[in-house]
Amino acid sequence: MRRPGQQVIAVLTTLSFLFLMVHPILAADPEIDRMVRGPVGKDWVTNGGNLTNQRYSTLKQIDTTNVAQLKGAWMTRLKGSGAAGKYSFEASPLVKDGIMYVVTGNDDVFALNAKTGAIIWEYWSGIDQKISTACCGWVNRGLAMGEGLLFSGQLDANLVALNMKTGEAVWKTPLEKWESGYTITSAPLYYDGIVYSGIAGGEFGVRGRLTALDAKSGAILWRSYTLPGPGERGSETWPPGTDHSMRGGATIWNTPALDPDLGLVYFVTGNCGPDYDGSMREGDNLYCASMMALKAKTGEYVWHFQQVHHDIWDYDAASPVVLFDTVIDGKPRKGIAEAGRTGWVYILDRTDGKPLIGIDEKPVPQDPRQKTAKTQPIPRGDAVVPQCAELLPGYEKAGCIFETFWETPVLMQPSGVGGTNWSPMPYSPDTGYFYVPGTVRTSAFTRFGDKYVHGLRYTGGSQSAPIGSPMSGTFTAIDSTTNKIAWQHKTPYRIGGGGGSSVTAGGLVFRGEPDGNFLAIDAKSGKELWRFQTGFGADAPPVIYEVDGEQYVAIATGGNQLQGSAYGDAVWAFSLKGQLGPLWPPPPPATVAGPTGPIAASVDTVRIGAGNVEYSFGPSRIRIKAGTTVTFTNVGDLPHSATSMDRGKFDTGVLIKGGSKAITFAQPGNYFYICLPHPWQYGQVIVE
């Protein structure tokens, strides 16, 4: 006879065996799992539409024949949340059962009636306004949902779960500390009981990782680091005996994709750190600027493909990966693609990470001081933006992509902001095209070295657009079977870090522009069929949904600092029965780099971030007499500097809110300066 204890063990063994057998069927949220595995229909329940990130909706009530009649169904202002100079509005709203959920740049979440726009509940994040480690604007790229909860990654590095019915916080898990340089900007991904989240901070000497949490409790299940510890796989690509890989960046600041059949989760990683100084980190520096696949349940490494070896250009892989199925040379293939900051689309086999169309390692310019990689992977096919810069007055050297630089500025295209930045790349199975937003801009790259200090910026150099240089964009359809351009629009403004888009079975690509226009384009031909002025920078990616038999297209319009577009707090929804007309156009973004506005005479104070224009010097252009002392004061919310473009002429150093520095200008001359943390922020001092 067995003793009671043995009996318990026997029962437990049987139970756990049964549990293991039954568990795969007992999904925590079978409805959401089913929706994100299948084509996108009336609801849009995850950031990229479904697990593929294709942003392709099967809805086709609005099509190429009737889209010209589209009008605003409603427009709702989100009570001023995120409507200020320091914010960008980059979130895709989610929609389920007639309710829309949207998160602003302040991590505040709103639930709206998706048919009327009426606010149902609101969650005010209360995040610390002193967060100083958001590299490039206060942003949140969106939410995930599952098990009756909404998941939001906050700039204070907390992942929060809200009750979908009430907006009340159910759990909050810190993934890291913002004071250590970590922030969350990406939309999480929910699937099969797990919430996946990346973490940002590549400009602050951090160690990138993907974190998986239990959706119900918020408990951390595992962390998979994108930078190897000593002796781990990939550590041979960092200098032996050093700890540079522990602060080497490779952050994840966009939503992963997931293939449930293969059991893999996919994402891309950001730049190496320090961004522009490779001198101390000889080697390829895995897994910076890479596409990666992990086992979705355990986080175990499966494959990687590095887009840029030993990155010294801030060539992040930043746009979300897209999964697609295709036929190449008569064979069905499982593809994965990503639009890089380099201007190329990288197309791989998602089972093993090998190129589908061909990517060749080719020799590139060398500089032993920067420890440049001998070769770089060059995809076959077309780039979507120019990859060579022209020489401009005042500069000694201009080059093409992967040109090297040291302490003398060198002009290059694409700039380190792209190409394609965080903006998603939709894919239509009808056309077989990827739709790729791009920024056309020159950067002057310089290296100046940096000492690592915990929680402070650690970039080792800078890149800024030369004064007077033109800035524009492209929107390109790339044929997924050839990686060649099917059609291309030249756009008046940069759209690689905005100008979000989505595509429908109605044959339409919807995309925003930073001047406030929202456009519908024939997905096959590229012909523009409709445009509508929303009144605010239209840079967030739109979504498509249906309520009570009526199809809607919605976009959050709140501007974007990377695009220089007008900020706001609006969400627009459009339908064929809509009645609302367009708004007055907001101020358009700059198309030439440099300070703007009138020249103020005899001014000896410059306020940084004044008048709710966070990324600004006020006045931006001043004329003074030789010997004048000018006081620069940071009155904005974020850390800023005033640093002469010819570095060494003058520099306030990074000033925190309230900080001040006086500089005496003894020598006559024309001095252009930038803010080092935000090198698109320009000023000018004319000394007579």
- Catalytic residues, which ones? 314
**518 vs 671, beta carbon nearer Cu ion:** 671
**309 vs 678, beta carbon nearer Cu ion:** 678
What minimum distance in Å lies between the beta carbon of 600 and Cu ion?
20
**183 vs 483, beta carbon nearer Cu ion:** 183
**209 vs 678, beta carbon nearer Cu ion:** 678
CB atoms near residue 408 (< 10 Å): 12
Please choose, out of 48-56, 540-548, 596-604, 668-676, the segment that lies near Cu ion by the rule CB under 5 A: 668-676
What minimum distance in Å lies between the beta carbon of 632 and Cu ion?
11
Per DSSP bridges, beta strands 71-77 and 501-504 are unpaired
**Per residue, what are the HEC states of 48-64?**
CCCCCCCCEECCCCCCC
Compute the distance between CA of residue 317 and CA of residue 425 in angstroms, rounded to an integer.
12
Residue 616: strand, helix, or coil: coil
CB atoms near residue 488 (< 10 Å): 17
Compute the distance between CA of residue 518 and CA of residue 188 in angstroms, rounded to an integer.
26
What minimum distance in Å lies between the beta carbon of 34 and Cu ion?
46
Per DSSP bridges, beta strands 628-634 and 605-608 are parallel
**560 vs 681, beta carbon nearer Cu ion:** 681
CB 114 within 8 A of CB 547: yes
**565 vs 643, beta carbon nearer Cu ion:** 643
678 binds Cu ion (CB under 5 A): yes
The gap from C-alpha 349 to its chain's centroid, in whole angstroms, comes to 23
What minimum distance in Å lies between the beta carbon of 672 and Cu ion?
15
Compute the distance between CA of residue 672 and CA of residue 680 in angstroms, rounded to an integer.
12
Compute the distance between CA of residue 300 and CA of residue 304 in angstroms, rounded to an integer.
12
Compute the distance between CA of residue 68 and CA of residue 553 in angstroms, rounded to an integer.
13
Please choose, out of 216-224, 320-328, 620-628, 675-683, the segment that lies near Cu ion by the rule CB under 5 A: 675-683
With CB atoms as reference, the residue minimizing the distance to Cu ion is 675
What minimum distance in Å lies between the beta carbon of 678 and Cu ion?
3
Of 399, 640, 642, 684, the one binding Cu ion (CB under 5 A) is: 640
Considering only residues 92 through 151, tell me which ones interact with Cu ion, judged by CB under 5 A.
Answer: none
Please choose, out of 19-27, 164-172, 319-327, 632-640, the segment that lies near Cu ion by the rule CB under 5 A: 632-640
681 binds Cu ion (CB under 5 A): yes
CB 543 within 8 A of CB 92: yes
What minimum distance in Å lies between the beta carbon of 16 and Cu ion?
56
Element holding 9 (H helix, E strand): helix 4-22
**212 vs 674, beta carbon nearer Cu ion:** 674
Compute, in degrees rounded to 10, the torsion defined by CA atoms 234, 238, 243, 247: -80
CB 111 within 8 A of CB 60: no
Of 195, 257, 622, 675, the one binding Cu ion (CB under 5 A) is: 675
Per-residue x/- mask for Cu ion, residues 587 to 626, rule CB under 5 A?
----------------------------------------
Q: How many residues bind Cu ion (CB under 5 A)?
A: 5
Please choose, out of 194-202, 304-312, 364-372, 636-644, the segment that lies near Cu ion by the rule CB under 5 A: 636-644
Residue 13: strand, helix, or coil: helix
Please choose, out of 53-61, 180-188, 633-641, 643-651, the segment that lies near Cu ion by the rule CB under 5 A: 633-641
The residues binding Cu ion (CB under 5 A) are: 640, 675, 677-678, 681
